[in-house]
Chain A
Amino acid sequence: MTTVSDSSPTTLDPAAPPARAFARQGPLAGTWTITRRELGGYFLTPVAYVFIVIFLLVTGVFTFHLGGFFEAGQADLRSFFTFHPWLYLFLVPAVSMRLWSEERKQGTIELLLTLPITLAAAVLGKFLAAWAFTGIALALTFPIWITVNYLGDPDNGVILAAYLGSFLMAGGFLAIGSAISAITRNQVIAFVITVVICFGFLLSGYPMVLNFFSAWAPQPIVEAIAGFSFLTRFDSIAKGVIDLRDLVYFGTLIALCLFATGVIVETKKGG
């Protein structure tokens, strides 16, 4: 079918020069194949459609009823994005819970980890699929963006930034969920623990948590805890302020959680 096929037997031929075989086989080779399979896997079950429909319904309800989109009379999407952290709190763990626990429960983890790919490629590939899936759900909220542009003249730069912030936050939640999912083969347990931990990350910027710490902990620690908050970071990005520190924060969080996922999968796969 394609002209590249003539080179593929070389990777299978043990006599082929190793240099040529290695050129196509970096440590992350196969990531894209894993991502494609995983993402395709979401749409093979009703889970994907249920998730997307609920996500769109709930964002709609929150935006128009709780957020008072029309009553505010402003051409922006503040009332839409404000609820994203709370929506993600319950919906994202529902996506991440199956990432690794399902592989372990069905024994496919033995298949996956004996394929000629690195553990890093497997962890990253699965995470990227989940992230792309939430990205698709998020992108399907585009009618509200069209609506606000039709009704008024919003700052589309701010909206774009808010979408980016929302996407990054979803990635953060997913990475945490990925690590939790690697711990247990029970999806319900993975879901509950992920919700609790993500709740902690969300609330760490709120006065009710900070007051509890500020009563006895030194100021730098209180500030550090506040710095962990998804809410603080998301709010600033949603206002259109893309601070490099916020990007680094989410990037680091995702990287650390994926590294932890790898370590957990490696240590728990035998049991």
Chain B
Amino acid sequence: MIEIKGLVKRFGDFTAVDGVSFSVARGEVLGFLGPNGAGKSTTMKMITGFLTPTAGSARVGGHDVATEPVLVKRSIGYLPEGAPAYPDMTPESFLRFIADIRGVRGTERKRRIEQVVARVHLEGVMRQSIDTLSKGYKRRVGLAAAILHDPDVLIMDEPTDGLDPNQKHEVRTLIQEMAATKAIILSTHILEEVDAVCTRAVIIARGRIVADGTPETLRARARHHNAVALTVRTDGRSDAIGAVRSELQRLPGVLGVEDASIVNGKASFVVMPKGGQSIVAEVSALARSKGWNVDELRVEPGRLDEVFRAITQSSAATPATARTAAA
């Protein structure tokens, strides 16, 4: 549904987006991650036809946004950052305006508006001016406007930013409900959101894609992926702690043991595997054979925020060093 090739956007000397390419198929929910100013919003603005790319192309549903912008815009539902809407209008008149401009008329217009209003729960505020609505309601008005024409492609810039946990959950449920029939791109800062709704995550830093994969494959890049956290009751005997540590270190497949901490007579270890292999069976067998009093044994899946930090910070450092070298 969405094909992006070598997309570049420069503002004067500043390159906001630097050769971004990816494609999104129907049924995919692509989470767009990156630090502030990484180029997420700029990329979305180019796909939706708001900004003109400096180079590269964006095609939506087979139409190029540069040559057939109106056709592209017709097939996209777009929620810009902050969900802008005309503040003096009511949700009712605003949604009617959106329907009119998208060619949804008459009884069809009435039906569609009723449908989306029920879907995002706007019933109570339809005749209040948008100005007076809370942030959560404003976001819902924007969402309703974006999905009113049942678009094939849905692009949302930080759809849950500034919402309370219940509202966030509602928006995520809504996205999950629509995911099967649409191609969806959403940008976010919240990594748990990627786990909750996205089938794929693209991490962007300094205008370039630095990682692209399912949340699981990204997590596999975490340093702690498949590490085993083990807590053993030692009753404060330091020689026991040392014994456990050396036994663990001798296990095949174990790279090292770190983070030994002792709280209330319990010693916690993090056992790091060699090359991300699974070592939980070995650790558990060892604990049983040695008769350790195990309080907790748990596999670390690897944390996305750790991967995010590692990837975006290392890639941020590279161009900077390159520039210093050139100067």
Chain B residues whose CB sits within 8 angstroms of the CB of A270 once the complex forms: 11, 45, 51
Q: Is there a chain B Cβ closer than 8 Å to A34's Cβ?
A: yes
B interface with A by C-beta (< 8 Å): 11, 45, 48-52, 61, 69-71, 73-76, 78, 80-82, 84-89, 93, 97-98, 100-110, 129, 145, 149-150, 152
* Min CB gap A47→B, angstroms: 10
Extra contacts, 11 of them, besides A11-B74, A108-B85 (Cβ < 8 A), are A1-B106, A1-B110, A3-B106, A8-B105, A12-B150, A14-B75, A33-B101, A111-B85, A114-B80, A115-B101, A116-B71
Q: Which 7 A-B pairs have the closest CB atoms?
A: A5-B106, A107-B84, A116-B74, A44-B88, A11-B103, A116-B73, A110-B80
A64 to chain B, nearest CB (A): 35
**Residues of A contacting B50 in the complex (Cβ-Cβ under 8 angstroms):** 110, 113-114, 269
Give the chain A neighbours of B85 by CB distance below 8 A: 108, 111
Given known contacts A12-B103, A108-B85, is B108 in contact with A40 (CB within 8 Å)?
A: no
Assembly CA distance A31 to B78 (angstroms): 21
Provide the residues of chain A in CB contact with B76, threshold 8 Å. Answer: 114
**Considering residues B74, B89, B101, B105, which has the most beta carbons from chain A within 10 angstroms of its beta carbon?**
B101
For A113, the closest partner residue in chain B by CB is: B50
**Distance of A23 Cα from B246 Cα, bound (Å):** 79
Q: Are B84 and A108 in contact (CB under 8 A)?
A: yes
Residues of A within 8 A of B71 (CB): 116
Q: Which of B52, B84, B106 makes the CB contact (< 8 A) with A110?
A: B84
Chain A residues contacting B104 (CB-CB under 8 Å) are 8, 12
Complex interface: chain B residues within 8 A of A65 (CB): none
| Chain A residue contacts of B105, Cβ below 8 A | 2, 4-5, 8
Please, which residues of chain A bring their CB within 8 A of the CB of B11?
270-271
Give the CA-CA distance A184 to B82 in the complex, in Å.
Answer: 21
> Is B93 in contact with A40, judged by CB distance below 8 angstroms?
yes
B80 neighbours in A (Cβ, 8 Å): 107, 110-111, 114
| A41, B89: Cβ atoms closer than 8 Å | yes
Residues of A near B45 (CB, < 8 A) are 110, 270
**Is there contact, CB below 8 Å, between B106 and A8?**
yes
Residues on B with C-beta less than 8 A from A34 are 101
Q: Is the CB of A14 within 8 A of B106?
A: no
Is A24 positioned at the interface, with any CB of B under 8 Å from its CB? yes
Instruction: Name the B residues within 8 Å of A45 (CB-CB).
Output: 88
